[in-house]
A = this chain, B = another copy of it.
């Protein structure tokens, strides 16, 4: 399938001449990264002004230091932070200085972004250092070409159990580099069948080729690993992490793998989770398992990223003592300090599973001596599957700014995963990718804002969600006031709208089981997944206070007391923490049941407003984009009503309490 260039679509600049005179790029091309940096500048300037600047060695720099900007200098010099860059524009030239080639590349993309946005380049002085050491994407791509929770077509990494390396690989790497992504896991965390063989020579030529393309754009290739590989590859009878034989096997295997694929960054592992094998089978801990692998990859500078998404997925719905929300914490808290320094625990933003609203995962702030990575989901598994617009950066921002109170300051999730809180370097942020081989990469054109936004946020966590959205709109669709205003309205209202017309007050779920799309209030209520709302005639919610599962007390004060107390609990999480009567009065003065009705009507109204504003962009956006988005918005309009009516009807029928405003409920 063909593919578009997403936010790297460059169009001619007619009203903007700040870089129009640039004819020369001065640079010493010491590696592929610098070579690619130069090419990116050439490509962009050619597209903007029709003329491609030439490359000259820096020693030949003849800049006269006055007048219009005529050249760009790429300068590698000591003293800057890794991956950081200084971008200055003065005296007729633009200089990008960095201490490593990645910094040069990021500086180049920053400059291009400014040119796309038509910003003034004179008197520029910008110092940027990435806010997090690791900025990763996790692709849940299977080797048969399918994507677990993929809503944008098939995989562009795999097809028919082969690895794909082609033009799209290059464009993908360019897109990722342009937003600062420096690590990519290409295969699904559920590693089965052929994917187990990614660490054998069956695929190493292709993986090496891919990793070299990635390397030229500053991206390390990572793979998801099958913990039981020694068994499933038929070489050993077990995978006990304390067995000498098993440890030797992994060491030998890793030598082979890293020899074959030098630009490999390491491995992501989902172990003892949802049926995946792990150290529990052998009576060992996650630390035993992770450390064994960490030793094996250490000689090659490899990282082991170990997921904390571990819970009992065969729970009895009748059991009100077991609490899935506790399980990540309970499984890992006792292991704090036991992991090697090249192990990172990857923790989902919330304790459940990427719901539209969850509290922050209680492991953040609890683990004090462990490398941590925050996992968010750009793929809209529970947030409309890229058929609904749901701009998630505001949610990610909330998570990053959440104060854990584990220490007096530097205590937010952002402080932890940036490495500031504990002075770590193996930490950062990962997003489950929302890409596929659809022409526009993300199915919904507006979902590209989540992909773009994730990278930008991980690089510059201080950016606001609105700034990021504005930036994405401008560079993708160009300079048009109405377009910018309309798309910004849609993006910024989309998460609140989705939250309003789906499950209320933090309770989550209420989706169709399995595929997770569309309303189904009782869909998970009598199932084995630990995801219940416990609604009855009088009320709804899960008691996670000290009188219930005690989950609220896993947080530091004052969070624990706030969550534990119905009166103090943030209302957007009220039903997550408490079982509440429908007649309970919220701070707005509304009852819970009236809040449910009102928000569901409001959510649909916002969607209607989005649709009517978007319609007016006809002619302003590329026709193809306009049509694709229009079709999806039409579906969202109808489907948001389905959500509204099912949720409202369910609670009306169960509570017997009518809507104060007498609107139609079925």
Oligomeric state, in copies = 2
A654 interface residue, CB < 8 Å from B? Answer: yes
Residue of B522, B538, B642 touching A522 (CB-CB under 8 A): B522
Task: Judge whether A422 is part of the interface by a CB distance below 8 angstroms.
Answer: no
Interface 1/0 per residue, A144-169 and B, CB below 8 Å: 00000000000000000000000000
Interface status of A535 (Cβ within 8 A of chain B)? yes
Q: A585 within 8 Å of B by Cβ?
A: no
Please state if B653 and A317 are interface contacts (CB–CB under 8 Å). no
Encode contact with B along A302-338: 1 for CB under 8 Å, 0 otherwise: 0000000000000001100000000000000000000
How far is B521's CA from A526's CA once the two chains are assembled, in angstroms? 10
The 8 A CB mask of A390-423 against B (1 = contact, 0 = none) is 0000000000000000000000000000000000
Bound-state Cα–Cα, A654 to B653, Å: 8
| B536–A526 CB distance below 8 A | no
> Once bound together, how far apart are the Cα atoms of A666 and B538, in whole Å?
14
Report B-chain residues with C-beta under 8 Å of the C-beta of A196: none
Residues of chain B contacted by A650 (CB below 8 angstroms): 522, 526
Q: From residue A663, how far is it (CB to closest CB) to chain B in Å?
A: 13
A5 within 8 A of B: no
Q: Is the CB of B653 within 8 A of A535?
A: yes
Residues of B within 8 A of A645 (CB): 318, 526
Which bucket holds chain A's interface residue count? 20 to 34
Q: Does A520 contact B (CB under 8 A)?
A: yes
Within 8 A of B (CB), among A639-666: 642, 645-646, 649-650, 652-656, 666
- Closest chain-B Cβ to A511's Cβ sits at a distance in Å of 12
Residues A494-522 near B (CB distance < 8 A): 519-522
| Contact of A666 with B536 in the complex, beta carbons under 8 Å | no
Asked if residues A537 and B666 are in contact (CB atoms below 8 Å), the reply is no
Cβ-defined contact, B536 with A653, below 8 A:
yes
Q: How far is the CA of A520 from the CA of B522 in the complex (A)?
A: 8
**Chain B residues in 8 Å Cβ range of A522:** 520-522, 650
The smallest beta-carbon distance between A652 and chain B, in angstroms, is 8
CB pair B649–A537 under 8 Å, yes or no, is no
Cα distance, A655 to B646, chains bound together (Å): 19
Q: How distant is A340 from chain B, measured CB to nearest CB, in Å? A: 44
CB distance from A320 to the nearest CB of B (A): 8
Residue of B nearest to A652 (CB): B536
Complex: A645 Cα to B519 Cα, angstroms: 23
Would A526 and B519 count as touching, CB distance under 8 A?
Answer: yes
Within 8 A of B (CB), among A278-323: 317-318
A646 to B520, CA, bound (A): 16
Partner of A520 from the list B519, B526, B642, B653 (CB cut-off 8 Å) is B526
Contacts of A654 in B (CB 8 A): 536-537, 653-654
Residue of B nearest to A317 (CB): B666
Q: Is the CB of A536 within 8 A of B318?
A: no
Mark A522-547 against chain B: 1 for CB-CB distance below 8 A, else 0: 10001000000001111000000000
Contacts of A537 in B (CB 8 A): 537, 653-656
> A519 vs B522: C-alpha distance in the bound complex, in angstroms?
11
Q: How far, in angstroms, from A318 to B646 measured CA to CA in the complex?
A: 9
CB pair B317–A526 under 8 Å, yes or no, is: no
Contacting residues of chain A (608-666) with chain B, CB-CB under 8 angstroms: 642, 645-646, 649-650, 652-656, 666
Shortest beta-carbon distance, A666 to chain B, in Å? 5
Q: Is the CB of A318 within 8 A of B526?
A: no
Which residues does chain B contribute within 8 Å of A519, judged by CB atoms? 526
3 closest cross-chain pairs (CB), A and B: A537-B656, A536-B653, A526-B646
Taking beta carbons and an 8 Å cutoff, which residues of A are in contact with B? 317-318, 519-522, 526, 535-538, 642, 645-646, 649-650, 652-656, 666
